[in-house]
Structure 1
Amino acid sequence: MAQPPTPRGRKRSAAAENAVLAAAYDLLATEGLQATTVEAIAQRAKVSKATIYKWWPNRAAVIMSAFLREARDALPYPEQLDMTSIFDRLHRMAQEFHGPIGNMVRVLIAEGQSDPEIAEAFREGYVLARRKQGVEIVHAAIAAGLIRDADPDVILDMLYAPLYYRLLVGHQPLSAAFIREHVTLALNGLTPRAH
């Protein structure tokens, strides 16, 4: 049996990868998106630009990798769609949106309007990747009879869009009182009707 081909190039160094992602995240959080260049990331991480380009195809991919590493833990989905779980997770999300994660989401969405690479990286790496997990949770809730049978994408939009709207527009605060009223209204609409 033929052996699989040996991958070209050196294996990623975990220390160097962590340094690159930490540098990108730190630059994004403190200096902003425009300052988060491959040159600046390489300088801060003490690696060459060639090393970064060997592992990531472009600046957007590095930035999204750094953002996603932080956001995965900071913005988890609830385990199931019940009042307590949804309130807890959306409240945690609102709190995270008051800090660096929220600033980054704002910047990445804004920059994505004029930079197709950033838009695609944000959509594919963050929004659509997370939605796969969310759709599974919605399907499980429908199967368990916790919520009415409806389009999972519409349900996720209904639950999450108000937080992004307040984050981006800033017309009202992302407060615990807002989250509680929003979750209550949303779940009242999703609760199966008695026959």
Structure 2
Amino acid sequence: MSAVDEARPKRGAPKRGTPRSERAILDAAYGLLTQEGLEATTVEAIAARAGVSKVTIYKWWPNRAAVITSAFLSRSEDTLPYPERMTRDEIGAALLRMADSFRGTTGAVIRALIAEAQVDPGVAQAFRDGYLNARREHGRQIIRTAIAAGVIRQADPDVILDLLYAPLYFRLMVGHQPLTDEAVRAHVELALDGLLTE
């Protein structure tokens, strides 16, 4: 990667501005998302709530979708963690924390973003690039390390991530069954019986 590539802002990421204004914008966007819904979270509404101009927002983010995704990411990074080691206990604990987040505000926002992504290509791209793809690369690195150490079986890291995480997203989005801790524990046991080399 060249120095130019490294300096170029990632799609969906804000350009650096005044920290206080940036925080106010992200807080305003997240507040609107959780209180009024995605449709009401317009650039105009965000600017009014944050006490800034629309021009200020567009200086730091290319579009509404990028602001919304950045606001979501600013609140979700700590609540949707990957395990640092691929052990039964750490994977189980991480997925239980994720399920707990999905049962609250984070889950409601993810549902709204995924639904909006079906009709708004900008939201779809910002959500994939800013949230899914960025997080999955971290997950792939953890899985490659575990495979190299002989902890889990040799397999495509993307398939392993889907195996572990897709059932939680499925219950979140489809709602055919509740996303309970009991369901998560049962899923972890079945999945890891096939993955772990122990």
1:185 aligns with 2:175: no
- Unaligned runs of 5+ residues in structure 2 are 1-14
Does residue 66 (structure 1) correspond to residue 71 (structure 2)? The answer is yes
CA-to-aligned-CA distance 1:85-106 (integer Å, 9 cap, x gap) = 0110100000000111000100
What TM-score, normalized to structure 2? Answer: 0.91
Q: Answer with 1 or 2: which has the greater Rg.
A: 1
Q: Report the counterpart of residue 93 of structure 2 in structure 1.
A: 88
Query: Is 1:102 the counterpart of 2:107 in the alignment?
Result: yes
CA offset at residue 81 of structure 1?
Answer: 1.0
Rounded to whole Å, the distance in 2 between the matches of 1:43 and 1:13 is 17
TM-score (norm 1): 0.92
Give secondary structure in 1 for the equivalent of 2:183. Answer: helix
Q: Could you say which residue in structure 2 is the equivalent of 1:5?
A: none
Out of 26, 48, 54, which is 1:49 matched to?
54
Contact persistence 2:16–2:60 (CA under 8 A): no
User: Is 1:126 the equivalent of 2:131?
Assistant: yes
Change (3 A) 1:80 1:179: same
What is the letter of the counterpart of residue 197 of structure 2?
P
Separation in 2, partners of 1:191, 1:67 = 33
Q: Distance in 2 between the 1:132 and 1:192 partners?
A: 23
CA deviation map 1:66-97 (0-9, x unaligned): 00011111101111111100110100000000
Q: Which residue of 2 aligns with 1:168?
A: 173
CA deviation after TM superposition for structure 1 residue 11, in Å: 6.5
- 2:82 equivalent among 77, 83, 103: 77
- The residue type paired with residue 190 of structure 1 is L
Figure out how many residues of one structure are paired with residues of the other and give that number: 184
Q: 1:50 to 1:151 in 2, by over 3 A?
A: same
